[in-house]
Every structure is written in structure tokens, then in C-alpha cells.
């Protein structure tokens, strides 16, 4: 679907006036009906046309926020932490009395971090096929966090272009300090190392099985690896592709054998090549050290080609700002809709409504003399895309 639709200020204003669910956002941030510090001491940052950035705004309720949004008509706005004082009073309170105290635990997964393993698109591009990487990331993280940390209030939001955000609103998650966030991210981060590091999965100590958290994820990852990565992404088809694979095999003889075989078979698919490798493993004596080494290497490879790649910096600091749900992505004009992790596979980023479509539908609905109005129209439409109303789960 093309994103050629022009985002005019008028369109944005109409979107904010008629569609944006301020009440839901309020309910989601505030956790209660009457405004609490969770909302009134919360920082909002607006990005206006021409890269003007306004930080430290705060509002007394949903109505107040809406009024300001309509007055400024920002291209997007971001949500920050709850401070110990009202952010709008920042200049008048002492610095020591102005500290971030509460903040949803947030994660950001961006498709650009997958460029080394995806073959269908690169950079800002995203398609149905590479969305599978996001799907597996969502499933692994969602399962892991619920199981290991016991958090329940997870909200997944499509970031509008090529990524996904996770907001965790459990009381305990909100109270985490920066150090604890760093620890949690460390626990979750498996893929490490830059361009010049071949083996990016280093979680074992010597020749030991995977840590329990990863064993839990491994099942999902393995399925994704054999059912999606190998047939669809075909990462080992090209010479560079299989050379990269050989770099990850810690046994010189095996590597040499495979290299000889594969040099003569330029048209083999990734599945065939992977089977070659698996066959070599099977040939090794059961329980031998070599077999174990190769088996573990195979596991690590599957993980490296599927495990979620997190943007760690976003999660580590309480005062990091993150785009609010339901904002419009300025480049694609798509709305950042919440996503249901249970149906993540069926989500298609290409079918997320743009502002223009939503407003058009709304006009049509009004013209049809339907009694649906304002936000109802928006949520009705977005229901198809697995919206769930955020305040309902608090």
C-alpha cells in the first residue's frame, strides 16, 4: 500500500479532534478514573512541524491534554515518566525535587536491527514476510516477561512503520530503578556484538545447556527458524550467506567439508544446506563432546537468526520518551495501533489504516446517517486490526 498520502495539518487536526482516543490514553496512564499523579505529573513532549520540540508539558486531565493538542496540532507526541513534581513546573522547583519516579517499562524492537539476517527488505522497508521476525519477537518477549517476571499488563503497539513498542504498566514494573531496568534488559538481551562480530549469541558458560529462560524460548525460535527463516528468508543461499553460517560452526573439519560441498552447489536452498549440517551432526557419536558442541552450535545459530533484537537504550532509562499509542507516523501516516500478541501473525503492517482512510470512513459513516460518532467510528474500524481498548486491562 502506498504511503503517498499527504499529511496536512488540517488532516492531523481533524484526526485529533474526531478520532484520537484521549480518554483511553488517560485511563491507560492514570490507572483510575479520577486524575492521579500518574497523569498529572506525567511528561508529554510534542513534536511540532519544523522540528520544534516541546518538552516537560503536563496536564490535569484528558480534556486539558486534548485542548493543548488541538491548540498545538503536533505531528506526534511522546510520553515520558511520572516525575516527583509537575513537569510544567520544572523551572520553578529545585532540581533535586524533580526526578523521574515512575515509568512504564518499555521495549522497542526495530526492523533495521534485523538487516543482517533478513533478505527481503532493508532499512525502512517492511513487508508481510519480515513482519514474521517481529511476530516471533513479540511471542518470545511476551511469554518470557509474563513467565519470568510475572508482569501482566503488557501493551504492544505498532510503531507506525517498521517496529513495535511494548509498554508494561504493572505497578512493580513502573517502580523499577534504572539499574534494575538495565539488569532486566541484560537478561533479555541475547544477540550481542556489532558488524564485526560473527557469533552474536554467547550465553553459555563452556559446554553447558542454555539458560532456562532461553530453553523456554527455544521451541518458538526453532519452529520459526525451520518454518519461516529457512524457506522464506533463505539466508544461506548466497555465498556470503553460507559463509556467514560457516563462521558460526566451531569445528574446522565440518566447516571444510561443508565449504567443499557447497562451493559446487551454488543453487542449493538454505533448507538443503541446513540439512547437510544436521546430517553431519547426526553422524557423530551420541554423547560425544564433538556432537554436543555441534548441537549447541546449531541451537545458537537458530537463536541468532530469530531471537528478538532489542533497542536496549530505550528500556534502560526511566526518562526515555516513547511515542504515544495512536499517534500518526509522519512518514507513513499510519496510526500506531495496539496489537494483540495472541494474533500477532495475522497482523499486517501494510493494512494498518492511515489517517486519511480513517477520516474518509468516518465521513462515509456520518453520511450514511449512522448514529456512530467520533471515536466510535475509529475504534469500530480498527477493531479489525486487533485493537483492544487500553483502559480495559488496568
Partner 1 sequence: MYKVQKKKPEVDIHSQLKYRFRLNFYDKPPLDDIIIEDFETFALDRLRVLAEIETAFVRNSPWETIKKHTEDQCRKYLELGHTTAKTKDLDRERQKDHISHFVLRLAFCRTEELRRRFVKAETTLFRIRYANEDPQELISFLKSRDFDWVEVSSAEIEQYRDQLDAAGGKGSDTFYKVGLNRDAVVVFPEVIGLHQVKWTRVPDLVEKRKVFLKGGMAYVSSKEQSSIIFQSFQAHLEKALELTAKALPRLDEDTRIVPILDHLSQGFLAGGTSEWNNATSANGDEITADMVDDISRKHFPACMRNLHNALKRDRHMKHFGRLQYGLFLKVLGLSIDEAITFWRRGMSTIQDDKFNKEYKYNIRHSYGLEGKRANYPAKSCQQILMNDQPGSGDSHGCPYRHFSPENLQTALLSMYSSQGLTSADIPEIMQIVKGGHYHVACTRVFEITHAKYGIRKDNGVGDGESVTHPNQYAAKSRELELGATKGAVKKDTDGDVAMS
178 is catalytic: no
Check if the beta carbon of residue 73 is closer than 8 Å to that of residue 16: yes
Of 123 and 179, CB closest to partner 1: 179
Which residues contribute to the site for partner 1 (CB under 8 A)? 96, 147-151, 172, 176, 179-180, 182-184, 186-187, 203, 205, 208-213, 215
CA 251 to chain centre: 35
Q: What is the DSSP letter of 335?
A: B
Residue 48 forms beta bridges with which residues?
Answer: 52
Helix (H, G, I), strand (E, B) or coil at 79: strand
To partner 1, the closest distance from the beta carbon of 32 in angstroms equals 23
What Cα–Cα distance (Å) separates residue 12 from each residue in 46, 75, 293, 354? 14, 7, 57, 11
To partner 1, the closest distance from the beta carbon of 209 in angstroms equals 5
To partner 1, the closest distance from the beta carbon of 311 in angstroms equals 17
Which of 104, 110, 113, 299 is the catalytic position?
110
Radius of gyration (Cα) for the chain, nearest Å?
24
276 is catalytic: no
Give residues with Cβ within 8 angstroms of 167, minimum separation 6: 104, 105, 106, 154, 155, 157, 322, 325
Of 40 and 293, CB closest to partner 1: 293
To partner 1, the closest distance from the beta carbon of 208 in angstroms equals 5
Of 184 and 303, CB closest to partner 1: 184
Check if the beta carbon of residue 178 is closer than 8 Å to that of residue 184: no
Question: Which set of grid coordinates corresponds to residue 184?
Answer: 532486566
Which of 78, 104, 108, 276 is the catalytic position?
108
Of 208 and 343, CB closest to partner 1: 208
Q: Which residues are known to be catalytic?
A: 43, 108, 110
Amino acid at each position: 500500500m502506498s504511503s503517498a498520502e499527504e499529511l496536512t495539518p488540517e488532516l492531523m487536526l481533524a484526526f485529533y479532534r474526531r478520532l484520537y482516543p484521549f480518554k483511553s490514553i488517560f485511563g491507560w496512564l492514570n490507572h483510575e478514573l479520577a486524575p492521579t499523579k500518574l497523569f498529572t505529573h506525567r511528561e508529554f513532549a510534542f513534536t511540532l512541524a519544523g522540528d520544534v520540540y516541546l518538552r516537560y508539558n503536563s496536564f490535569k486531565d484528558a480534556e486539558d491534554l486534548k485542548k493543548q493538542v488541538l491548540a498545538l496540532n503536533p505531528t506526534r507526541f511522546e510520553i515520558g515518566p511520572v516525575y516527583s513534581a509537575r513537569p510544567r513546573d520544572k523551572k520553578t522547583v529545585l532540581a533535586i525535587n524533580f526526578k523521574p519516579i515512575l515509568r512504564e517499562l518499555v521495549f522497542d524492537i526495530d526492523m533495521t536491527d534485523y538487516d543482517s539476517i533478513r533478505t527481503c527488505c532493508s532499512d525502512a522497508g517492511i513487508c508481510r514476510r519480515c513482519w514474521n521476525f517481529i511476530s516471533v519477537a513479540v511471542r518470545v518477549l511476551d511469554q518470557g516477561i509474563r513467565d519470568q517476571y510475572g508482569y501482566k499488563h503488557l501493551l504492544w503497539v505498532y510503531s507506525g512503520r517498521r517496529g513495535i513498542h511494548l509498554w508494561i504498566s504493572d505497578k512493580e514494573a513502573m517502580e523499577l530503578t534504572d539499574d534494575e531496568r538495565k539488569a532486566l534488559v541484560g537478561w533479555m538481551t541475547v544477540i550481542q556484538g556489532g558488524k564485526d562480530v560473527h557469533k552474536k549469541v554467547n550465553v553459555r558458560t563452556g559446554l553447558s545447556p542454555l539458560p532456562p529462560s532461553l530453553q523456554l524460548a527455544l521451541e518458538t525460535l526453532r519452529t520459526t527458524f525451520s518454518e519461516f527463516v529457512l524457506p522464506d528468508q533463505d539466508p544461506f543461499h548466497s555465498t556470503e550467506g553460507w559463509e556467514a553460517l560457516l563462521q558460526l560452526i566451531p569445528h574446522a573439519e565440518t566447516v571444510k567439508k561443508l565449504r567443499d560441498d557447497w562451493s559446487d552447489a551454488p543453487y542449493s536452498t538454505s533448507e538443503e544446506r541446513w540439512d547437510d549440517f544436521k546430517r553431519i551432526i547426526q553422524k557423530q557419536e551420541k554423547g560425544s563432546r564433538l556432537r554436543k558442541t555441534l548441537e549447541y552450535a546449531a541451537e545458537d545459530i537458530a537463536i541468532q537468526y530469530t531471537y528478538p533484537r532489542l533497542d536496549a537504550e530505550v528500556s534502560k532509562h526511566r526518562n526515555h520518551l516513547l511515542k504515544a499509542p495512536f499517534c500518526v507516523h509522519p512518514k507513513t501516516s499510519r496510526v500506531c495501533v495496539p496489537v494483540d500478541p495472541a494474533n500477532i501473525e495475522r497482523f499486517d503492517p501494510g493494512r494498518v489504516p492511515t489517517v486519511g482512510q480513517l477520516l474518509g470512513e468516518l465521513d462515509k459513516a456520518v453520511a450514511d446517517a449512522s448514529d456512530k460518532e467520533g471515536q466510535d467510528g475509529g475504534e469500530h474500524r480498527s477493531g479489525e486490526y486487533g485493537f483492544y481498548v487500553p483502559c480495559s486491562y488496568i
